[in-house]
Structure 1
Amino acid sequence: MKLKEIAHSRTGDKGNISNVSVIVYEMGDYEKVKKSITAERVKEFFQEIVKGDVIRYELPKIGALNFVMDNALGGGVTRSLSLDRHGKSLSSALMDMEIVL
């Protein structure tokens, strides 16, 4: 199944760092998502974009995971010539990740 079937996402960016959250719709799915969506898996998923570390923060009381991805935006919005270097597009891409529960 696609991650978007059981979760939604929010995102932000600051300089060359993208911050992507995964928030489950139902709290009962949090542990399953936590096991499936690791920092390593997110780094691999975005291997062509993210050139730095990916750190995962767990927020169990709100059923969320937060991924901070360093060196992920081609130098940042104001430094890149790319049309879309905002971190916002990364959340949509992550929601298309296949997961097995």
Structure 2
Amino acid sequence: MAKVQLMDIAIARSGDKGDGSNVGIKARTPAIYQFLKMTLTTELVKEHFKEICFGKVTRYELDNLNALNFILEDSLGGGGTETLIMDAQGKVHGLALLFMELEVPDELLA
């Protein structure tokens, strides 16, 4: 097992809608996707964003794309027009999730 950042095994894209954000994580290989389906849970993502995500986290599996999509409710302080947060957009949430560290089996990193 090796400790790596999610960015070493996946890419991300994120955005916002109202007071929520969505983060798509695309695995670099089908084997890594299967690993992420087992490992990258809503609880783990919620814990990672505990300082900004005050609502529910929902996960959608996109098997045909080797991707997971997470919806983070109540993560933008009311959204762009209702908050005092300087940059209340979800565009950076994908990058923030890519900094998460995971223990990954060595054979997936070869």
Q: TM-score, normalised by structure 1?
A: 0.96
Once superposed, which parts of structure 1, at least 4 consecutive aligned residues long, lie more than 6 Å away? none
Please state how far the C-alpha of 1:81 moved relative to its aligned partner. Answer: 1.5
Deviations for 1:13-63, whole angstroms, at most 9, x for unmatched residues? 110010101001112210111112100110011011000000000011110
For 2:85, which of 82, 86, 101 is the aligned residue?
82
Q: For 1:71 and 1:83, how far apart are their aligned partners in 2?
A: 16
Deviations for 1:46-89, whole angstroms, at most 9, x for unmatched residues? 01100000000001111000000111100001111211210011
Normalized per residue, the structure richer in strand is 2
CA RMSD, 1 decimal: 0.8
Q: Secondary structure at the match of 2:86?
A: coil
Question: Would you say 1:22 and 2:25 are equivalent positions?
Answer: yes
Q: Secondary structure at the match of 1:21?
A: strand
For 2:12, which of 4, 9, 14 is the aligned residue?
9
What amino acid sits opposite 2:59 in the alignment? R
Question: Would you say 1:39 and 2:45 are equivalent positions?
Answer: no
Sequence identity of aligned pairs in percent? 44
Gapped runs of 5+ residues in structure 2?
A: 105-110
Q: Secondary structure at the match of 1:99?
A: strand
Q: For 2:30 and 2:90, how far apart are their aligned partners in 1?
A: 26
Partner of residue 52, structure 2: 49
Q: TM-score, normalised by structure 2?
A: 0.88
Q: Is the 8 A contact 1:36 1:100 kept in 2?
A: no
What amino acid sits opposite 2:86 in the alignment? L
Gapped runs of 5+ residues in structure 1?
A: none
